[in-house]
Chain A
Amino acid sequence: MTPILLFEQSLNGLQFGLMLFLLAAGLTLVFGIMDMINLAHGSLYMVGAYLMATFAEATGSFWAALPLALVATALVGAALEVSLLRKLYERDHLTQVLATFAVILIANEGVRILWGSQSLMLNPPDGLTGPVQLPGGVQYASYRLAIIAVGAAVAVCLYLLVTRTRMGMLVRAGASNREMAVAMGVNIRRLFTVVFALGAALCALAGAMLGPILAVQVGMGENILILAFVVIVIGGIGSIRGAFVGALLVGLVDTMGRALLPIAFAQMFSPQVASNLGPSISSILIYVLMAAVLFLRPQGLFPARG
């Protein structure tokens, strides 16, 4: 156990947490404002990553492809909202879960048909493939540092958007009391479409940024969707601030657990047992955290509804 390992792991946790935040932010707004459980959120993440890989291939540049992928995925999200999800707002949660689960299956098969079942490769932009020297003599992957920067910038922008703009005010009004907002004459339909498209763009950003360190593949959205749900439950549904804190907590707990538990177990058990136990216990840790938060604060850490 060295300070360098701890420092590097905190950066890794921060990087993972910020990407989770991008997903959770869209999810929590949709859930909080529209009272809609959207399981297909992970599919938008997948579609975003595939579009990113396609545009990156076509343009030959990561940075040129990124805005294209964001806009395209936002359009896909808006189309999904207008064509299908709009019909589901008035239905109960079970119907929403079933319908959006169907969207997951359709999206997975659609992507398989369009892009094939092989995973696509997305390379980090030129100049970010190597390490950078951090103060204190620590080397860290420059691309992961870029992810942290992008994630932090988006978090600040979202914070400003929600707290400082008219649209943000409407979003907050919708999240804290939808009926009242409608009664006050807010065009809730347009707001929903815009929020949904924004959530889709954030998904695409996460998919595009994570693409080079993971793989662009069918079904990539499902695993991360569960984590995003954990994040919004911990943070409080409908709250951007909650999503931010929740995402960082989950990211840090998961990464620290993954690195430190095997070391702790290695002192006690054989390597194979330790490496079996380490990841499974560390993945339980997140849910233990969620259960503890639910027990102490059932509304989440920063509930949007007062």
Chain B
Amino acid sequence: MKTKSAVLAVAALFACSVHAANELKIGYLSTLSGPAGAIGVEIRDGFNLALKMAGGKLGGLPTEVVFADDTLNPETGKQLAERLIKRDRVNLMTGVVFSNVMLAAWPTIQAGNVFYIAPNSTPTRISGEGCNPRFVSASWPNEGYHEAAGHYAKSKGYKSAYLIAPNYPAGKDATSGFKRGFGGTISAEVYTKLNQLDYSAELAQIRAAKPAALYAFLPGGMGINFIKQFVAAGLSSEVPLVVPGFVSDQDIVRAVGDPMLGIFDTAHWSYDLDNDANRKFVAAFEKEYNRIPSVFAEQGYTTALLIDNAVRAVKGKIEDEKGFHKALMAAPARFKSPRGDWKFAHNGTPVQDYYLRVLAKDNKGRIVNKKIGTVMNDHVDFWAKECKMK
């Protein structure tokens, strides 16, 4: 009898392990230094803004965010993920900017049994066959922007396209997405070293190849240098440039300036999207940081809103894998994101619209990405079909 009650007591203890946390500790692994660091800062600022607007509490729980800088080094990212989970005992992770860091840190995050909410990188290898209930993306599937850009390039009637991207997982996802949307001839596919800064050799090749159109996926400092050097080499008047929104948003506009005017890009969000949540976000961001937000800032902001909503829905019981996953998947319908209406595909990637934008001056003379149309409606990640999760 005594043994039985002891067993029951132990069982009760274990049952209680799915208790409501009384505080939320978020491990925020990001790239915050070097030429690529500006993207990380944009996402972090968007995230922090939403946290501040929620009074420092996500889902009603006092929230502590532990920041770690991976310096765009996958091994460092993996070690920091381990530290955040084991030493800092975070209950949730987010923040990763680059896909190579994401793929390196992901096994560690999985082993640590914490949820990961992607504010940026959502590699095909994780969203497709490798899908997992603990991985949910508040940004976009990696190929989304590029597929949209491919559609746009096709609509412009370019006979062929010349692709340039960094040699890392998201670079491969970029060319694969663009090719699917474009469907035309690819005259060349050039992969550069990740974080390469001097593009003289590539630009000379592009000049010699005289492509009908150039598609460049070079985010962060790479994009700043590429576009500056592309313009300086006189190629901007010879070769039409098509880019995803990552290569033409405010982080790059601030550094490059007027040569950006007239460039077309594709993105899931735009500064001037016509909805109340967006107006509120843009106004608050400009007030807080005194600059125009970028797609990355919107992603960080929406990530925090998503966490806020899902944690609230499960009343803090985020250790309950099924319950929290369900709450996350249902969350987009319950809050207003600056990007407008969106939902999740079953693999945990957003189903959303992608817009065509052009860089132009607003009425205050600032260079902004203006929405001029919609390229893809309710786009579902192509690789969702590989995901066996229900």
Contact = CB atoms under 8 A, between A and B. Distances in A.
A218 B221 CA distance: 14
B167 A218 contact: no
B35 A215 contact: yes
Interface residues of A, number: 42
A213 B35 CA distance: 12
B35 A8 contact: no
Contact of A118 (B37, B167, B233): B37
Interface stretch (B18-26, B99-107, B204-212, B285-293): B204-212
B229 interface: yes
A94 to B, nearest CB: 28
Given A213-B197, A218-B34, A271-B191, A5 B208 contact: yes
A276 interface: yes
B154 interface: no
Interface string B222-255: 0011001101111100000000000000000001
A71 interface: no
Interface residues of B, number: 36
Contacts of A213: 197-198, 200, 225, 228-229
B277 interface: no
B232 A131 contact: yes
B208 A275 contact: no
A190 B191 CA distance: 50
Interface string B30-73: 00111101100100000000000000000000000000010000
A118 B191 contact: no
Given A4-B207, A275-B192, A255 B201 contact: yes
B190 interface: yes
Given A118-B37, A119-B35, A5 B204 contact: yes
Interface in A93-117: 112, 117
B198 A129 contact: no
Select the residue from A12, A15, A141, A279 with max chain B CB neighbours within 10 A.
A141
B180 interface: no
Given A271-B188, A279-B192, 9 more contacts: A5-B208, A117-B33, A129-B232, A139-B207, A139-B233, A214-B225, A218-B33, A262-B190, A275-B167
